[in-house]
Amino acid sequence: MRVLIALLAGSLAFAQGDWPQFRGNPQLTGVATGAVPKTLKLLWSWEAGESMESSAAIAGGAVYVGSQGGFLASLDLATGKLRWKAKTGYIGESSPAVAHGLVFVGDLDGVVHAFQTTDGKPVWTFKTGTEVKSSPVVAGDRVLIGSYDEHVYALEAKTGKLVWKFQTMGPVHCTPGHAEGITYISGCDARFRAIRIADGKEAYDVDAGAYVGASPAFGGGMAFFGTYENEVVAIDMNAKKVAWRYEHPQRKFPFYSSAAIVGDKVLIGGRDKMLHCLNAKTGKALWTFMTRARIDSSPAVADTRVFFGSNDGRFYVVDINTGKQVWEFEVGAPLSASPAIGGGRIVIGSQDGKLYCFGGS
**What is the mean predicted confidence (pLDDT) over 331-358?**
97
**What is the mean predicted confidence (pLDDT) over 109-114?**
98
Provide the pLDDT confidence category of residue 320 given band limits of 50, 70 and 90.
Answer: very high
Residue 16, pLDDT score = 75
Q: Please write the tens of the pLDDT for every residue from 152-166.
A: 999 999 999 999 999
Q: Where are the domains of the chain?
A: 2-359
Provide the pLDDT confidence category of residue 295 given band limits of 50, 70 and 90.
Answer: very high
DSSP 232-243: EEEEETTTTEEE
Residue 286, pLDDT score = 98
Query: Does the structure show a pLDDT above 80 at 55?
Result: yes
Q: Please write the tens of the pLDDT for every residue from 116-155.
A: 999 999 999 999 999 999 999 999 999 999 999 999 999 9
How far apart are the C-alpha atoms of 91 and 105, rounded to whole Å?
8
Residue 294, pLDDT score = 98
DSSP 116-152: ETTT--EEEEEE-SS---SPPEEETTEEEEE-TTSEE
Q: Please write the tens of the pLDDT for every residue from 39-50.
A: 999 999 999 999
Average pLDDT, the chain: 95
Query: Does the structure show a pLDDT above 60 at 2?
Result: no
Among residues 269, 203, 267, 209, the alpha carbon closest in space to that of 237 is found at 203
Within 8 A by CB and 6+ apart from 239, the residues are none
Provide the pLDDT confidence category of residue 14 given band limits of 50, 70 and 90.
Answer: low
Q: Please write the tens of the pLDDT for every residue from 204-214.
A: 999 999 999 99
At the second CATH level, the architecture of 2-359 is 7 Propeller (2.130)
